Structure 1
């Protein structure tokens, strides 16, 4: 039977003690997406959104979110991050009226616990920021899916989504 690590002897939530774990280099890469209409796509590409450079602001939001993950996800440990990178790619099929911005967040640390939650939080915050900056032009945007693509380091070893 699997031991539940986030519960104390009384069955109440606790933050796992990682003080005995080895510090190793750990990385994680997560992905999210925002589907949007042609008008919003053009605003972002042309830099004509009234709130400013959508992807630049989303990039900063993703970095800030990674750095502050422990403040919004209750059982996450505060981590000293070595690096955070947010990248964007377009998935566009104008013939089928499909416009999607893909968000990739890569986070790195050297420590006793991994950075999967930091990468997922960064990708999510970047997606939410895109929505926030573009909602005046249309609220039909769809966020997601958000998922872990890969992680390295730690006791559980490396992971890569097929």
Structure 2
């Protein structure tokens, strides 16, 4: 739970600020563990930008994660990077000088806009998790020219030659 707080950012001052104000946040060398993947050495640079009645988060995240090669089944560490952009609306608009009726703002039903919590904090955990997962290949490789495993003798062709007569 300690790492989770490292992904929480207080945006109260930005909500009280002017349109166009920017809050820059850097997150360094933290870990994010999900149900089946761990991302290490996370580095994220985020610009939170105040717009009319919301805040845009734009940034880049880089992390290391272990993958299993789809060709040879070796475990290896990969560095993955992702750019992201997300829009957040406040829990209540009065902090921005507006009344609290959300109906006064035009939202398309098909656009997924996230809401800040009651304290005007944003939790970046799911944004980072989704951004990093999206960069992991469906069939990851340990290296670009992985030779894989011989289907007959099961030797890892990156380390050994086999004498099988398979193409």
| TM-score (normalizing by structure 2) | 0.30
Larger radius of gyration between Structure 1 and Structure 2: 2
Q: Which has the higher contact order (CA 8 A, sep 6+)?
A: 1
Q: Which of the pair is proportionally richer in strand?
A: 2
Q: Which of the pair is proportionally richer in helix?
A: 1
